[in-house]
Amino acid sequence: AQKITQTQPGMFVQEKEAVTLDCTYDTSDQSYGLFWYKQPSSGEMIFLIYQGSYDEQNATEGRYSLNFQKARKSANLVISASQLGDSAMYFCAMRHAGNNRKLIWGLGTSLAVNP
């Protein structure tokens, strides 16, 4: 069954340090995409970063990078130099090719950045 697992319900990090949020996925398909979204306390869902299953390089977007390990079926989000504004829920999601762009979502990880 297709599934996304985020094993860390809550995480803490000191300001300016790096943090890794875990995401593992289960699929038998070869073509898929992985997404990370941020949901601050204000409630909106913000797209952060995308990794395609055929991408050879790990995706990066500013302070966000994706540690993609295809054989282990993991797509961990790395946030470098954490800022107070990074405190939020983070969701990992997966989309399969030909799946009408539907996403399968993890339950999220709550990140708190301490000053």
Span from 18-26, 47-55, 67-75, 78-86 in contact with other proteins (CB under 8 A): 47-55
Q: Does 50 bind other proteins (CB under 8 A)?
A: yes
Q: Can you spell out the DSSP letters for 10-67?
A: EEEEETTS-EEE--EEE---SSEEEEEEEE-TT---EEEEEEETT-SSPPEETTEEEE
Whole-angstrom distance between the N-terminal and C-terminal Cα of the chain?
A: 41
> Which of 77/95 has CB closer to other proteins?
95
Q: Does 64 bind other proteins (CB under 8 A)?
A: no
Span from 10-18, 19-27, 38-46, 78-86 in contact with other proteins (CB under 8 A): 38-46
**Least Å from the CB of residue 115 to other proteins:** 27
Q: Does 43 bind other proteins (CB under 8 A)?
A: yes
Q: Does 41 bind other proteins (CB under 8 A)?
A: no
| Sign of the dihedral defined by the CA atoms of residues 106, 19, 35, 70, in that order | negative
For residue 6, which amino acid is it?
Answer: Q
Q: Which residues contact other proteins (rule: CB under 8 A)?
A: 33, 35, 37, 43-47, 50, 52, 91, 95, 100-103, 105-108
